[in-house]
A = this chain, B = another copy of it.
Amino acid sequence: MSDRTEILRRFLEDVWNQGEEAAVDRYLASAYKIEHDPHDPWHGKTLTRDEFKQRLRAARAPFPDQRFTVVHSAAEADRVAAAWAWSATHKGDAPGLPATGRAVTMTGITFYFFDSDDRLTGHWQAVDRLGVMMQLRA
């Protein structure tokens, strides 16, 4: 496992699982580009660290106990690809999805990009959002 794979695992744990906003300053470059993330409101945008914290807060609000677990990874050059499983309880309202209280699972794969200081500069992502819709709208 590369050092960057380990950095990425800690980023997912501290930032996305624990929701530690201060950790964003440690892991992110000053600009973070969401190169590709279909159906994500921030798709195509370049965020400052503060804007990333707002995104983190908004994304975690409906799913406060969310957990990402890395299933597979591959590191090469400036990138680490991570296949992940996500689980959460739908406790708060999301756009178009009022809180259901349901346990929900999701999978996806993300290419994360690093700069030479090992800080994250952005991502390119594919997520099974159809599966989430089927669980929350059924």
Contact = CB atoms under 8 A, between A and B. Distances in A.
Interface stretch (A21-29, A54-62, A125-133): A125-133
A36 B124 CA distance: 19
A2 B39 CA distance: 32
A32 B37 CA distance: 29
Contacts of A81: 72, 74, 81, 83, 109, 111
Interface in A86-133: 107-111, 124-131, 133
Interface residues of A, number: 29
Contact of A36 (B36, B79, B107, B133): B107
A124 B27 CA distance: 27
A75 interface: yes
A73 interface: yes
A70 B56 CA distance: 29
A128 B129 contact: yes
Contact of A76 (B76, B107, B111, B128): B76
A72 B108 CA distance: 16
Interface of A: 2, 36, 38-39, 71-77, 79-81, 83, 107-111, 124-131, 133
